[in-house]
Amino acid sequence: MPWWDRNNLRLIQTNLRAADAALDRRRLIDTLRELSANVLLLNTGGLVAFYPTALEYHYRSPTLGGGDLTGDMVKLCNDNGIRYIARFDFSKIHESVYAEHPEWAYRSIGGNSVNYNGMVHACINSEYQRKYSLAILDEVTSRYPIDGVFFNMFGYTTRDYSNNYHGICQCGNCKALFAQRYGRTLPVEENPDDPVFQMYLQFKEETIHEVLDAVHTLIKGKSRELAISTYTDYKVDIIKKESNTEIHRPYPVWEYSASENNQSVEGSWNDKLISNVCINAIGIDYRFQGVPSVQVSRRLYQGLASGSGLDFCIIGVFADYPDRKNLPVVKKVFQFHRENEAYFGNFEAVPDIVLVKPGPHADETQIQEYLGLFKILKEDHLQFKVVEQPVFSLAHTEGARLILCADCTVTQPLLDVLEEAAKTKALMWSGTAWLKNPERRFLNLFSIAEYIGSINSRWAYLQNSPAALFPHLTETDWTMLDGPFIPVKPAAGCSAALEKLSGGRFGPPEMCGGNVPTGEYGLIINNEKKTMFYTFQPGCLYKRYGYDEHRYLISDAVRQNMLIPSLSTNAPPYIEIFLNKYLNDENHKAPPGIYNIQLINLSGFNGSAFHPCAPIHTIEISIKWDEQNSPEEITSLIGKKKLPFYFDGSLLHFTLPALDEYEALVLV
């Protein structure tokens, strides 16, 4: 069994500067031990070599001298039971290398290279990334007993670190290869409606896979025990994602960053790990100030609760890092994981719902619809797993009762799965991206008899009826509607809900009114087939505005299909709850229990600031018990106390007396 399959990573990543090659090796290893880390991810080669490379065009750190940082740290890690993953970045070359090999560079729309602080953007189709990078990998893996390789900024890079966009690469390598394979000239604009750009997207995927094929052949040819990690799922063992902050992004901050990153991998692949790195910095251009400690804590706990290990990153070295406030938090969570390691990494979500994440190449409105639905399900404590659309299969639906497609792109593979799943599962679809490919199979699946193009629904409303479908909206008759709306007519035998009211007069106040029924509906329901189809984007609206009405338009309808959900609670919406079932497989010892329930208190977050949470008391939880054996005890891993419980028919009930920041309960 490969070492990473234990899924117990407590990874520290120090992104070194070129001048850090002379760092205090002993001090770094002592810090790792103090933090309970068991994996170090450290700069090794690519942009800068931190070892005495023999390769002519591998730029060495100017402070390396006669030393060997890689060799020293690999030995220290091995001596202290810490795995070493070598970090490489082949996206750029030093300007001195560029002077010798200008053909290795990326070229902008204007044909220019991009030099950022002495590092020149390299093209993935150049000899450097296709051949010379393999020589660097071969040199490192031949010299040092490392445990894995990680590639930063893998693939096509069109922006520099100041976020300046330079366009689709126009280098000679890309031009020739694209013309050879597709017989066309490279596009100069990223236009999704351009068929040549669609060819280019396929070209990018092909070429990235070709480089990863070569990397995989080389690395696994050295040892099957060498892990491969980067930000894609193809030919890798550990998928890297980031919970990062960028102060220039629009607010509010996405409070479920680590949960979504982890769940989208955990739910999609059984043969890959997720290592979601908690980036300490508040932004790329402010790397030396850390985010709030509360935010770091929540990101790390969300990783544990979602089924992964831990991953934390700083820039530079700990010895002179100017913001140390978050290290006690990292130490606390890493130590908790080390002391309770047997209870983590060997479970999976208990999903009532499969949330299908749109892709590939989903646009921003599709992503916002997905994130809004994710947020709705979280706040209503509905248990779900996420599956990426490109890998979605019938096997992913096992155990779930409802499939919720978040503004997905209509494809034949998706329809194949949905048609088969519809025989035993309820289906829900929200969003408007389907209009780009209104397949007849799709229309039949969701009982759409007729449709017209998308219209702008600004100033319109939806009538919250029938009332029985939306019990939380009995005191609210109308819900505001904004954004795209596709008028459809349901097939015979189906019912319609959420009738649209036309946009009326909104001023002056004395003249307000004129909102009249249009005969157009926001929801089509086929009770026989158990399908629900939303003709607008309720998730996107909830993500943008946060109104309860949009939330209940989804969650009330979902609960109609749940009957008795797997987990019920009186916890407020800002308590994130995970219900997981332990696995008994070849990668682990006998499971330490039947289920675990983890709770994270997200109170104290106001959209921008992260304040300490307010303790919550008397949280009642009920679990739908489908197991043959009753639990013998429910134990808190935080308080080390046992909780009383009782059964009422098929429901197991217990009360958590208090929740501070985080809790993990094990049902044995």
- Digit-coded pLDDT (tens) for 267-281: 999 999 999 999 999
State the DSSP string of 106-149: ---TTS---EETTEEEB-TTSHIIIIIHHHHHHHHHHHS--SEE
Helix ranges (DSSP H) in 461-577: 538-545, 548-562
Residues whose CB is less than 8 angstroms from the CB of residue 54 and which lie 6 or more positions away in sequence, other chains included: 139
What pLDDT is recorded for position 588?
A: 61
Q: How confident is the model at residue 15 (pLDDT cuts 50, 70, 90)?
A: very high
Helix count and strand count (H, E) for the chain: 15, 36
For residues 281 and 295, the answer to whether their CB atoms sit within 8 Å is no
For residues 564 and 624, the answer to whether their CB atoms sit within 8 Å is yes
Question: What proportion of the chain, given as a percentage, has pLDDT over 90?
Answer: 96
Q: How confident is the model at residue 584 (pLDDT cuts 50, 70, 90)?
A: confident
Please tell me the distance from the alpha carbon of residue 299 to that of residue 210, in angstroms, as a whole number.
34
Q: Is the pLDDT of residue 36 over 70?
A: yes
What pLDDT is recorded for position 590?
A: 72
Which three-class secondary structure state does DSSP give residue 243? strand
Q: Is the pLDDT of residue 221 over 80?
A: yes
Q: What is the mean pLDDT of residues 296-310?
A: 98
Query: Residue 190 half-sphere exposure, CB side, CA atoms within 13 Å?
Result: 11
Of residues 563, 546, 645, the one with CA closest to residue 605: 546
Q: Is the pLDDT of residue 394 over 80?
A: yes
- Cα 97 to chain centroid, rounded: 36
Query: How do beta strands 616-624 and 651-659 pair?
Result: antiparallel
What pLDDT is recorded for position 1?
A: 86
SS3 string, 391-445, reads HCCHHHHCCCCEEEEECCCCCHHHHHHHHHHCCCCEEEEECCHHHHCCCHHHHHH
What pLDDT is recorded for position 589?
A: 66
CA distances from 447 to 412, 416, 488, 494, 498 (A): 18, 16, 10, 7, 16
Phi, psi of 184 (to 5 degrees): -130, 165
Q: Is the pLDDT of residue 178 over 80?
A: yes
Angle subtended at Cα 524 by Cα 523 and Cα 530, rounded to the nearest 5 degrees: 120
Residue with tokens 């000899």: 127
What pLDDT is recorded for position 283?
A: 95
Please tell me the distance from the alpha carbon of residue 88 to that of residue 212, in angstroms, as a whole number.
14
What are the structure tokens assigned to 634, written together? 């429910």
Please tell me the distance from the alpha carbon of residue 668 to that of residue 665, in angstroms, as a whole number.
10
State pTM to two decimals: 0.97
Please tell me the distance from the alpha carbon of residue 25 to that of residue 595, in angstroms, as a whole number.
42
What pLDDT is recorded for position 202?
A: 97
Q: Is the pLDDT of residue 564 over 90?
A: no
Domains 351-562 and 567-667 share a fold: no
Please tell me the distance from the alpha carbon of residue 448 to that of residue 442, in angstroms, as a whole number.
8
In one-letter notation, the amino acid at residue 548 is D
- Digit-coded pLDDT (tens) for 427-454: 999 999 999 999 999 999 999 999 999 9
What pLDDT is recorded for position 316?
A: 96
Angle subtended at Cα 331 by Cα 325 and Cα 337, rounded to the nearest 5 degrees: 145
Q: Is the pLDDT of residue 586 over 80?
A: no
What pLDDT is recorded for position 31?
A: 98
Question: What proportion of the chain, given as a percentage, has pLDDT over 70?
Answer: 99
Q: What is the mean pLDDT of residues 568-573?
A: 98
Please tell me the distance from the alpha carbon of residue 225 to that of residue 146, in angstroms, as a whole number.
10
What pLDDT is recorded for position 591?
A: 86
> In b/e form, how buried is each residue of 220-251, taking b as 16+ CB within 10 angstroms?
eeeeeebbbbbebeebbbbbbbbbbbeeeeee
What is the biggest distance separating any 2 CA atoms in the chain, rounded to whole angstroms?
83
Please tell me the distance from the alpha carbon of residue 414 to that of residue 410, in angstroms, as a whole number.
7
CA distances from 437 to 72, 295, 389, 410 (A): 57, 40, 16, 6
What are the structure tokens assigned to 312, written together? 């934390």
What pLDDT is recorded for position 402?
A: 97
- Digit-coded pLDDT (tens) for 463-505: 999 999 999 999 999 999 999 999 999 999 999 999 999 999 9
What residue segments make up the domains of the chain, in order of their start?
Answer: 351-562, 567-667
Please tell me the distance from the alpha carbon of residue 118 to that of residue 445, in angstroms, as a whole number.
56
Correct CATH for 567-667 of 3.30.1490, 2.60.120, 2.60.40, 2.40.50? 2.60.40
**Rounded to the nearest 10 degrees, how much is the dihedral formed by the CA atoms of 240, 243, 245, 250?**
110
Q: Is the pLDDT of residue 585 over 70?
A: no
CA distances from 171 to 96, 101, 197, 294, 299 (A): 19, 13, 17, 45, 40
Q: Is the pLDDT of residue 460 over 90?
A: yes
Please tell me the distance from the alpha carbon of residue 599 to that of residue 577, in angstroms, as a whole number.
5
What pLDDT is recorded for position 587?
A: 60
Phi, psi of 216 (to 5 degrees): -60, -45
The fold for domain 351-562 equals Rossmann fold (3.40.50)
Other Cβ atoms within 10 Å of 160 Cβ, number: 16
Q: What is the mean pLDDT of residues 556-578?
A: 93
Q: Is the pLDDT of residue 563 over 80?
A: no
Average pLDDT, the chain: 96
